[in-house]
Chain A
Amino acid sequence: MLLNLTDLSDEPLQSQIYRQIRARVLNGELEAGQMLPSIRSLAQEQKVSVVTVQRAYESLERESLIHSRRGKGFFVSEIARHDRKEMAFQGLVEKLRPLFQAARGEGMSRSEILAAVQAILDQKE
Chain B
Amino acid sequence: MTNAFQINRMVKSYPGFQLGPLDLALEPGKIMGYVGVNGAGKTTTMYCLVGLVRADAGDVRIFDRPNDLNRPAWKLDVGYVGDQHVFYERWTAEENLNFLARFYPSWSVGKAQDLARRLRLPLEKRARDLSTGNRVKLALISALAHSAKLLLLDEPTAGLDPVVRLEVLDELMEVIQDEERAIFYSTHILADIKRLVDDLVFLDQGRIILRSAKDDLVEKWRTITFYSDRTIGAVEAAVQIRHEGRAHQVISSDHEATLAHLRALEVEIRELHYLPIEEIAVQIIKGGSHVAADQS
Contacts and interface: CB of A to CB of B under 8 A. Distances in A.
**In the complex, A touching B (Cβ < 8 A):** yes
Contacts of B197: 49
A12 B219 contact: yes
B166 interface: no
Interface string B166-182: 00000001100100000
Contacts of B29: 50
Contacts of B242: none
Interface in B208-233: 213-215, 218-219, 227
A47 B177 contact: yes
B286 interface: no
A50 B177 CA distance: 10
Nearest to B219: A12
A50 B274 CA distance: 21
A101 B174 CA distance: 42
A14 B268 CA distance: 28
A58 to B, nearest CB: 11
Contacts of B174: 47
A13 B197 CA distance: 12
B44 to A, nearest CB: 26
Contact of A105 (B31, B194, B219, B268): B268
Interface residues of B, number: 25
A49 B195 contact: yes
Q: Point out which of B174, B214, B215, B269 has the most chain A C-beta atoms below 10 A from its C-beta.
A: B215
A68 interface: no
B82 to A, nearest CB: 24
A117 interface: no
Nearest to B178: A44
A55 B220 CA distance: 14
B227 A14 contact: no
Nearest to A8: B276
B215 A50 contact: no
B25 interface: no
A51 B177 contact: no
Nearest to B275: A10
Given A47-B195, A48-B196, A98-B272, A12 B177 contact: no
A55 to B, nearest CB: 5
A43 interface: yes
Contact of B198 (A12, A13, A47, A49): A49
A69 B155 CA distance: 40
Interface of A: 7, 10-14, 43-44, 47-52, 55, 98, 101-102, 105
Given A48-B195, A49-B198, A51-B215, 18 more contacts: A7-B194, A10-B274, A10-B276, A12-B215, A12-B219, A14-B218, A14-B219, A44-B177, A47-B177, A47-B195, A50-B198, A51-B199, A51-B213, A52-B195, A52-B214, A101-B270, A102-B270, A105-B268
